[in-house]
Amino acid sequence: MGGGISRHELAVAVSDAGGLGTIAVLGPEAIEGELAAARTLTDRPIAVNLLLPFAEPSWFEAAEAADVVITFWGEPERHTGGTWIHQCGSAAEAQAAHSAGADAVIVQGVEAGGHVRGSEPVLELLERVKAVLPPDFPLLLAGGIAERADVRQALEAGATAAVAGTRFLLSDESRAHPEYRRRLLDADETILTELFGLGWPAPHRVVPNAATERGGEPLFPVVDAAGHLALDVSHELVDLVLHLLDLRAHVQDDLDAGEVHAKISGK
């Protein structure tokens, strides 16, 4: 969960509970600061998630202090000397990540909340990926994980582990705005839309709000589906986009204007 919602408090809580807590913040200084704060609270492994359309070399340098680096949305390429996991939305992308030296892949189905890479149900995609990768290669499953039964189903289907995101928005350690949490708890449906293209025109699974009811064109798409800048824009503009994304994570008072991420099952 990007935009500063998943910081050291949430990552530490997840890791101390036996999972792999993940920090997702923007920029090298923020990454370094959140990792340092996490290290004062736990000696359990901590991961850092980086979005390839935005991450610069300095971000990867800062993330080297993490136990695991997770990348998403772009051509798989090793940028770290440590453990690297790449999140994939197709069997072809999983093969590319394996060939690039990934230590594991996250298989993301269309049920996932937030930015959605997969276009088919995750259990079907898992079978496709299993068919093209070595039998002992670690496969993590993401999409629709909200309860114990979802984790059990993922493991029984052959996944090495399950990845939960949206569910942790409701945790005490999450930086999500209280109104954001209320919207999720009150929701009884989600939709997949490309309306919220601030940053790149990726599909989002969200809770319907006034913005989705109005529809219209995607908002400020500057990065294409392959993870490359689609316009000749300056680094200053990219920095502004990143600043706005980080700001929206803290100021959630107008949730009818922005995306309210949620997955297809559970809340």
Single-letter code of the amino acid located at 84:
W
Single-letter code of the amino acid located at 134:
P
Q: How many CB atoms lie within 10 A of CB 149?
A: 10
172-207 pLDDT per residue, tens: 999 988 888 888 889 889 999 888 766 566 888 988
HSE of 219, CA atoms in CB hemisphere, 13 A: 16
pLDDT at 244 over 50: no
pLDDT at res. 23? 97
Task: Provide mean pLDDT across the span 208-222.
Answer: 67
pLDDT at res. 214? 77
Task: Provide mean pLDDT across the span 157-170.
Answer: 94
137-154 pLDDT per residue, tens: 999 999 999 999 999 999
pLDDT at res. 260? 56
Question: Domain ranges in the chain?
Answer: 8-170, 178-250
CATH fold for domain 8-170: TIM Barrel (3.20.20)
Minimum mean pLDDT range among 69-78, 221-230, 249-258 = 221-230
Q: At 224, is the pLDDT very low, low, confident or very high (cuts 50, 70, 90)?
A: very low
pLDDT at res. 161? 98
pLDDT at res. 144? 92
Q: Compute the distance between CA of residue 141 and CA of residue 251 in angstroms, rounded to an integer.
A: 31
Share of the chain above pLDDT 90, in %: 60
Helix axes 122-132, 91-99, angle to 10 degrees: 40
Cα 177–Cα 182–Cα 186 angle in degrees, nearest 5: 155
pLDDT at 247 over 60: no
pLDDT at res. 216? 63
pLDDT at res. 243? 47
What are 83's two structure tokens? Answer: 């453990």
pLDDT at 208 over 90: no
82-97 pLDDT per residue, tens: 999 999 999 999 999 9
Q: At 210, is the pLDDT very low, low, confident or very high (cuts 50, 70, 90)?
A: confident
pLDDT at res. 225? 42
| 66 close to 35: Cβ distance less than 8 angstroms | yes
By three-state DSSP, how is residue 71 classified? strand
What are 225's two structure tokens? Answer: 């589906």
